[in-house]
Structure 1
Amino acid sequence: MNASVGDRLHVHGNAVGQPDRSGEIIEVRGAEGGPPYTVRFDDGHTGLVFPGPDAVIETPAREHVHADR
């Protein structure tokens, strides 16, 4: 699992009644985009996360700027 700052982490609830959690990755502490990640969750909580198999990283579409030739 690799991520960049600005990607979103979604952690699926793994028990009945446990809601999914999602947030923005604000720091990548592992080598080459690997975990752990510092995540600012949508509820305002910030924490260090070592994502498990119940997590998905989504990369937002990035704008490409083309230089004039």
Structure 2
Amino acid sequence: MHATKGDRLVVHGRTVGHHDHTVEIVEVLGINGEPPFRVRDESGHETIMSPGPDTVVRHDRAGEHTY
């Protein structure tokens, strides 16, 4: 998984009733765009994340930051 600052990670809900969760990458801590990533959710909470197979990278398109 390769990502850059500003990309978003979408973690798909794994069970019925659990919705997808989207976070913004604020810092890439791995080498060459690899995890782990420092991420921020819409409430402003930041954490370190190493995404699993249920996560998809949505690459940033200029000017589309939501938080």
TM-score range, shorter chain: 0.7 to 0.9
Partner of 1:32: helix, strand, or coil? helix
Larger Cα-atom Rg = 1
Correspondences of 1:1-69 after superposition (within 5 Å)? 1-62=1-62
Superposed CA offset, 1:12-56 (max 9, x none): 011121121101100101110000111101233211111011101
TM-score, length basis structure 1: 0.81
Gaps of 5+ in 2: none
- Aligned equivalents of 1:42 and 1:8: distance in 2? 11
- Aligned equivalents of 2:32 and 2:49: distance in 1? 16
CA RMSD of aligned residues (A): 1.5
| Structure 1 consecutive aligned stretches of length 4 or more whose deviation exceeds 6 Å | none
Q: Percent identity?
A: 46
